[in-house]
Structure 1
Amino acid sequence: MSKEAQTDPSVIEDSTTSDLSLDPESYPEGGWEAWSVVLGAWCAMVPAMGLVNTIGVLHAWTSTHQLKDYSQFSIGWIFGCYAFFLYTAGAQAGPIFDAYGPNYIIIPGSIGIVAAIICLSFSEQYYQIFLSFSVLGGLSACTLFTPAVAAVGHWFKARRGFATGVACTAGGFGGAVFPLIILFAAPKIGFGWAIRIIALISAVLCFIACLLLKTRLPGNLKKGASIDFSALRDMKYASTTAAVFLVEFAVFIPYTYIASYGVHVGVQSTLSYLLIVFLNLGAIPGRFLPGLIADRVGRFNVMVLTSFICAILTLSLWLKSGDNLAAIICYSVFYGFWSGAAISLTPVCISQVCSTEDYGKRNGTTFTIASIGVLTGIPISGAIQQHDGGDFYGLIVFGGTLYLAAAIAFALARGICGGWSLKTVF
């Protein structure tokens, strides 16, 4: 290096900045490069999480059209399996992300999700809907969701809850827009063409995501199992995983059944479908505001609070709402808001009990375990409803009890990981 270069402050500053950009403990916490990754994550999650937030409308539509001759238990497996594949494939997607970055999974995932939506638009039989939506759609959604969340974690630490929450508002946005497309387009141009409009929107957003998503740290090529069960020896990680399992067990039950509940109690069908829109409109601020607060008062603390409030809302407001439309709408909006943390903050909680280099693998492992809950939660709820002769009382109690258990589990995990003092920010 020349003498001028050795003494030139700009050269020293550039070198220092470059070194810091590769330091696992130094995070940009903002700037165009970091926020462009958040935008890319948002674009990836609109189709991935937007579809899972649309399952209430899809459930209500298919159960009265294509699948009207099938039981609620059988139909529930279609939507439970979508959420299952959305989470369980993270065991493979996470390590690939850690080793090679997002492109190896985000590009095939983008192609897969668009293909799945197009196939769904032509599906009429049970097995066709199951294979297109549940299997291909769920697996493809995972390869969008997992790298999107993990990539944000490479660029933010102190503001990770807020940044992840902003990206996760995509689920609420997709969950509000997609049902509106089905609700207003399907009666005019048919269900198939309404779904193809969603496929076009998803294709554009996935293209943007492929351009913007990137990592900050070099690949972690450590060899090991794609499902890192050995990590469960760590009590902090194990207790966090147990809490995430319970909250994910509960979260999709109201998303799936609130529209069908509206139809059951006599709400006009258009308004019943709009309950999903109200729920997702509440979820948009519910994804980033809890994250903003959580960065200040503690991510685990906020998860305890939001899980407890969801339990109270379900066991009181929804359970007692009957056919009162105002009460049902209030529950939809409030539940949408307070349940948002179950999607946006759970991966941030995982990141607090593992190193950044292992974030993809640990995130994938936790959500693989949680996938058992989301797989069974929806059909179990359908079986309870079917056992009760179509009544929703037992289903609602089941969902509310799961949320109460999740609140207790997060409180225990918070004590194990951050200490038992009520003043601890964790």
Structure 2
Amino acid sequence: MGNKEEEENSSNNETIWTAQDRDDEETREGIASVVPKDPNHDIPNGGSKAWLQVLGSFFLFFNSWGIINTFGVYQTFYETYLPETPSNISWIGSIQAYLLLLIGIATGPMYDAGYFRALVATGSFLVVFGMMMTSLCTEYWQIMLAQALCIGVGCGCLFVPSVAIVSTYFSTKKALATGIAAAGSSLGGVLYPIVFHKLQPTIGFGWATRVVAFIMLGTLSISLSVMRTRILPAQKRAIWDLSAFKEAPFVFFTLSIFFGFMGLYIPFFYVQSYAIQEKITSPDLAFYMLSILNASSIFGRIIPNFIADKTGPLNVIIPCTLATSVLGFGWVGVRSTGGLVPFCILYGFFSGAFVSIPPTVIVRLSPSIGVVGTRMGMCFALGGLGLLCGSPVAGQLIKQSGFDAAIYFCGAAVAMGTVCMIAARVSKMGWMLNRVA
């Protein structure tokens, strides 16, 4: 009789895969057991093991989005040494960035199935191998294969684990922990350009790029050493959830990601070229504009996330995106070093929130935790199309009409993203400004 009651209770409770100590298993990274348990029960929400996951995730961001944020320095270098237009060159960075988002559709279910370490190991190999191969490239098509495709796929393998694992170790501090981890992408965007810029004139493009690859290898080894999954879903995650398109908040927010990404990365790709070609600064000082953008973005990923834990992610990301749009339009009036430096600081700060807060927003907009992973993959894959085409369009505008046209395009695209984001909030929560959303 007791066994029968236990079976009935078990069937009525949500089950989750536990993953404690499963790294010693040989098959599929060994799922230890299936037990009836609330996935939110006993979340550490701190402690050494939880913060080690943040450290590991920090370095995954450092070597995924951090590499994307670094492409501006390669854009300027390739414009000098390759017989290609800025638009053609920017396709390298755009494809690399979009693959990071697109591959998440496949890696999400793999993460749910227990292949966390396989994803991190594969992604680590691909980004290091791709960077090593880039160091040997001399032609455009070679760079496209190594830096765009190989590194892009590797970054895609790292992205989902970097986002997913932190949320299982934190509850009330989830947005803050995610923001700290996401700050790794900004730090990567600060350090990697400096390494390349300082070493390339003395040891050449090949060895400067190899040094970057060795740093990637060392930091990714830390992630592989410290990161451990805590829980996994009981059921495999669906790749696509068509019911999401019947929900206005999700549709509007996906559109906001599309338009926002279309304009957001234009300064990251072109601010260095802008400063040089418009004779605003010397080439050496122009390089540091990209580092300033990424350095201020560190604070833009932590401070807004800290506030979002208290006021709601949509209530924070909307004003930050609006400020990014205003700054995008304001870029057209920057004609001196004294104006360009504050622009980079402010744009880096507010744009950082747009990159780090969306995962928390998707959690808030989803009807249940069981569809969050699927919807996150859908949102980034569809919204990321803007990232794919935005920078090449800006490059073509620069070629035909000058930098002003690309700057207006940047501001207008982010402004459209802001409008769609407001529509998502209103359709979800109404017009009440004092509601946590």
Same fold (TM over 0.5): yes
Matched, 1:341 2:383: no
Instruction: Name the SS of the counterpart of 1:340 in structure 2.
Output: helix
Instruction: Name the SS of the counterpart of 2:39 in structure 1.
Output: coil
1:45 alignment partner, one of 61, 69, 75: 61
Contact 1:110–1:140, Cα closer than 8 Å, also in 2: yes
Against the structure 1 CA distance between its residues 212 and 351, is the aligned structure 2 distance closer, same or farther, given a 3 Å change threshold? farther
Against the structure 1 CA distance between its residues 79 and 21, is the aligned structure 2 distance closer, same or farther, given a 3 Å change threshold? farther
Matched, 1:140 2:151: no
Matched, 1:359 2:375: no
Instruction: Name the SS of the counterpart of 1:218 in structure 2.
Output: strand
Q: CA deviation at 1:156?
A: 2.1
2:283 alignment partner, one of 239, 260, 269: 269
Contact 2:257–2:383, Cα closer than 8 Å, also in 1: yes
> What corresponds to 2:132 in structure 1?
118
> What corresponds to 1:246 in structure 2?
259
> What corresponds to 2:100 in structure 1?
86
Contact 1:23–1:217, Cα closer than 8 Å, also in 2: no
* 1:360-384 deviation line (CA, Å, top 9, x unaligned): 3222111111221111001011111
Contact 2:245–2:251, Cα closer than 8 Å, also in 1: yes
Using the size of structure 2 for normalisation, the TM-score is 0.88
Contact 1:98–1:361, Cα closer than 8 Å, also in 2: no
Contact 1:159–1:295, Cα closer than 8 Å, also in 2: yes
* 1:47-86 deviation line (CA, Å, top 9, x unaligned): 1111111111110111112x2x111221121111111111
> What corresponds to 1:417 in structure 2?
428
Matched residue count = 402
Q: CA deviation at 1:239?
A: 2.4
Alpha-carbon distance between aligned partners in 2 of 1:21 and 1:260, rounded to the nearest angstrom: 57
Range that drifts further, 38-47 or 244-253 = 244-253
Q: CA deviation at 1:356?
A: 3.3
Against the structure 1 CA distance between its residues 230 and 79, is the aligned structure 2 distance closer, same or farther, given a 3 Å change threshold? same
Q: What does 1:262-301 correspond to in 2, within 5 Å?
A: 262-266=275-279, 267-301=281-315
Alpha-carbon distance between aligned partners in 1 of 2:430 and 2:52, rounded to the nearest angstrom: 36
**Identical counterparts, % of pairs:** 29
* 1:94-126 deviation line (CA, Å, top 9, x unaligned): 111122252131111111111011111111100
> What corresponds to 1:213 in structure 2?
227
* 1:152-203 deviation line (CA, Å, top 9, x unaligned): 1222232221111100110111100001011111101111111111111111
Against the structure 1 CA distance between its residues 210 and 229, is the aligned structure 2 distance closer, same or farther, given a 3 Å change threshold? farther
Instruction: Name the SS of the counterpart of 1:342 in structure 2.
Output: helix
Which ranges of structure 2 fall in alignment gaps of 5 or more residues? 1-19, 21-33
Using CA pairs under 8 Å that are at least 6 residues apart, name the structure with larger relative contact order, 1 or 2: 1
Alpha-carbon distance between aligned partners in 2 of 1:32 and 1:218, rounded to the nearest angstrom: 21
Alpha-carbon distance between aligned partners in 2 of 1:222 and 1:87, rounded to the nearest angstrom: 20
Equivalent position amino acid for 2:387 in 1: V
Against the structure 1 CA distance between its residues 57 and 22, is the aligned structure 2 distance closer, same or farther, given a 3 Å change threshold? farther
Alpha-carbon distance between aligned partners in 1 of 2:37 and 2:338, rounded to the nearest angstrom: 53
> What corresponds to 2:75 in structure 1?
59
Q: CA deviation at 1:258?
A: 0.6
2:340 alignment partner, one of 328, 331, 340: 328
Instruction: Name the SS of the counterpart of 2:230 in structure 1.
Output: coil
> What corresponds to 1:7 in structure 2?
none
1:234 alignment partner, one of 242, 247, 252: 247
Contact 1:21–1:28, Cα closer than 8 Å, also in 2: no
Alpha-carbon distance between aligned partners in 2 of 1:244 and 1:195, rounded to the nearest angstrom: 31
Q: CA deviation at 1:256?
A: 0.5
* 1:285-325 deviation line (CA, Å, top 9, x unaligned): 11111100111111001111111101111112x11012x01
Alpha-carbon distance between aligned partners in 2 of 1:220 and 1:238, rounded to the nearest angstrom: 27
Against the structure 1 CA distance between its residues 28 and 416, is the aligned structure 2 distance closer, same or farther, given a 3 Å change threshold? farther
* 1:364-411 deviation line (CA, Å, top 9, x unaligned): 1111112211110010111111111xx200100000011111111111
Against the structure 1 CA distance between its residues 189 and 301, is the aligned structure 2 distance closer, same or farther, given a 3 Å change threshold? same
Q: Alpha carbon RMSD of aligned pairs, Å?
A: 1.9
2:412 alignment partner, one of 401, 408, 422: 401
Contact 2:60–2:220, Cα closer than 8 Å, also in 1: yes
Contact 1:100–1:219, Cα closer than 8 Å, also in 2: no
> What corresponds to 1:13 in structure 2?
none
Please identify runs of 4+ aligned residues in structure 1 that moved more than 6 A: 18-21
Contact 1:22–1:218, Cα closer than 8 Å, also in 2: no
> What corresponds to 1:157 in structure 2?
171
Q: CA deviation at 1:235?
A: 2.7
Alpha-carbon distance between aligned partners in 2 of 1:87 and 1:136, rounded to the nearest angstrom: 14
